[in-house]
């Protein structure tokens, strides 16, 4: 680096000398008038020369650009003495909670790397590339490390952004160096995190450096065969954004979804992350697993960590449910905003609205409802958290019940105010959801008695009028049935709403007690 700077200075000295000699022969008046231009010219020339030489600095001294060195980003417990030193850092499937099905799918890859001859005899080839895709925080990186740990092979880990540079050719060179190092240590695993940073579809960006890097990656994938024992695992949140040349067979041809954990897996993760934490007697990890629908493994770890911080700040010796509840709401609601006056009419309307959804869902379906809350967030006034069964076929009755649950918030507001003109705008999203179900029942699923099993989209404007007419008819009918259901169970509705006003949040056990211990259920 210093050598390049001295070269630049020595190159610039003759230019300055010529300029000084020429300037000395000029008259005083001319010197005075040209002085600002001369100074400006010297500065601009100096900057130009520096920029030109800086552009070629990479070819003269690549190390000055911090070229990626794979030896700094992998661990190789290959020798006996190194295995002992690295033993505590080696990750296996035992360290990965949940993902039982994913682990089963990945066992063939581990066996392939351990016993390649067994597969070669059958004419099978090892996949060159595997893509892990799914929401952030689901454990894609951890699973890749666990594969390397189970197979006892070196693990190279880089980020897609490491290959993106403003200097053309740097990313491609880094790709080639990475694969060169991997070949020296084969069999091994190369893990590229956030591959969408470099593997986006070509044509979506004007950056020729990115295109060159993708081309280099494709060349390397085509350049080695499965007998070398190199497996490239890439992780992304958006597999649909990747270039089709990357995802075709023979390259990243195996795509494995890493989904958010289900209830049992969340319980495993909570047990894992709570090992080093003192939990109070009132903390039930089973209930917490029910309440944390949609949480990733990283979210659950963060939840327990935030709870621990709250417990320390309150000078408690253990984490209680109070800290966990507070941390949970902060994470889910991304900043609470509680109404100031519990006696305000808006507050009561919100309570009746959410109570309507919860009561209707419990009376009509077997849905689990981990919690109901009226604590407002930046995205809404409150909400009911449903835990629905896995996706599958839905009956006409299922869809009708979903529509009634959507209408139950507005119906509860009407029953509380006894005036249709005093209902609120809080049902906007509910109405949109109910309308979607109704249109699909009529137009797609053939579940309307008047129209029958006809797809009216073929009839354009006349078909649209028929759909609208039947949709209005079905909507009115189901809303009236929802109002009648809640009217018959109004005492229970009122008790749920009053408990929400008092406590702001109620969990499933308390909700079930309020509903099913009553005698007025219709």
- Which residues are annotated as catalytic? 354
Q: 175 CB contacts (<8 Å, ≥6 apart)? A: 163, 213, 216, 217, 220
How far is Cα 180 from Cα 183, in angstroms, rounded to an integer?
5
DSSP assigned state of 489: T
First to last CA, the chain: 83
Q: 98 CB contacts (<8 Å, ≥6 apart)? A: 139, 261, 262, 264, 265, 266, 268, 269, 297
DSSP assignment of 72-98, as one string? GSEE---SHHHHHHHGGG---GGGS-S
Strands 383-387 and 368-373: antiparallel
How far is Cα 427 from Cα 413, in angstroms, rounded to an integer?
10
How far is Cα 146 from Cα 132, in angstroms, rounded to an integer?
13
How far is Cα 379 from Cα 241, in angstroms, rounded to an integer?
28
Question: What's phi and psi for 199, nearest 5 deg?
Answer: -105, 20
Question: What's phi and psi for 502, nearest 5 deg?
Answer: -75, -45
Strands 129-133 and 252-257: parallel
């Amino acid at each position: 680096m210093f050598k390049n700077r001295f070269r630049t200075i020595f190159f610039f000295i003759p230019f300055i000398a010529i300029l000084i000699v020429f300037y000395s022969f000029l008259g005083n008046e001319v010197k005075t008038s040209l002085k600002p231009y001369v100074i400006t010219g010297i500065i601009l020339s100096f900057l130009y020369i520096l920029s030109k030489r800086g552009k070629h600095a990479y070819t003269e001294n690549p190390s000055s650009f911090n070229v990626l060195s794979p030896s700094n980003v992998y661990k190789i417990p290959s020798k006996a003495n190194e295995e002992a030193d690295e033993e505590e850092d080696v990750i296996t499937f035992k360290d990965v909670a949940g993902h039982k099905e994913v682990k089963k799918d990945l066992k063939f890859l581990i066996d392939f790397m351990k016993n390649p001859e067994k597969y070669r005899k059958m004419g099978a080839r090892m996949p060159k590339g595997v893509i892990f895709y799914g929401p952030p925080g689901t454990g894609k990186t951890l699973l890749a490390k666990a594969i390397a740990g189970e197979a006892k092979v070196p693990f190279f880990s880089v980020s897609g952004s490491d290959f993106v540079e403003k200097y053309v050719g740097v990313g491609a060179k880094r790709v080639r160096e990475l694969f060169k190092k991997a070949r020296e240590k084969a069999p091994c695993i190369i893990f590229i995190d956030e591959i969408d940073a470099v593997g986006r579809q070509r044509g979506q960006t004007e950056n020729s450096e990115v295109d060159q890097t993708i081309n280099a990656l494709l060349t390397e994938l085509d350049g080695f065969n499965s007998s070398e024992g190199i497996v490239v695992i890439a992780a992304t949140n958006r597999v649909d954004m990747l270039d089709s040349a990357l995802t075709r067979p023979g390259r990243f041809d195996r795509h494995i979804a890493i989904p958010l954990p289900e209830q049992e897996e969340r319980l495993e993760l909570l047990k894992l992350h709570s090992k080093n934490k003192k939990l109070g007697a009132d903390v039930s990890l089973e209930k917490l697993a029910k309440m944390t629908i949609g949480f990733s493994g990283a979210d659950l770890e963060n939840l327990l960590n935030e709870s621990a911080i709250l417990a320390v700040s309150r000078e408690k010796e253990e984490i209680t449910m109070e800290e966990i509840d507070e941390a949970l709401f902060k994470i889910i609601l991304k900043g609470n905003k509680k109404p100031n006056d519990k006696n305000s009419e808006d507050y009561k309307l919100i309570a009746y609205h959410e109570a309507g959804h919860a009561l209707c869902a419990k009376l009509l379906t077997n849905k689990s409802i981990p919690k109901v809350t009226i604590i407002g967030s930046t995205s809404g006034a409150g909400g009911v958290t449903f835990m629905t069964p896995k996706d599958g076929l839905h009956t006409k009755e299922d869809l009708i019940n979903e529509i009634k649950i959507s209408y139950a918030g507005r119906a509860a507001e009407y029953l509380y105010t006894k005036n249709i003109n005093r209902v609120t705008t809080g049902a906007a999203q509910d109405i949109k959801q109910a309308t979607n179900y109704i249109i699909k029942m009529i137009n797609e699923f053939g579940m309307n008695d008047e129209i029958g099993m006809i797809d009216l989209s073929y009839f354009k404007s006349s078909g649209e009028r028929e759909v609208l007419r039947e949709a209005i008819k079905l909507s009115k009918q189901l809303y009236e049935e929802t109002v009648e259901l809640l009217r018959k169970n109004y005492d229970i509705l009122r008790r749920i709403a009053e408990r929400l006003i008092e406590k702001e949040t109620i969990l499933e056990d308390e909700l079930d007690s309020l509903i099913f211990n009553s005698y007025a259920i219709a």
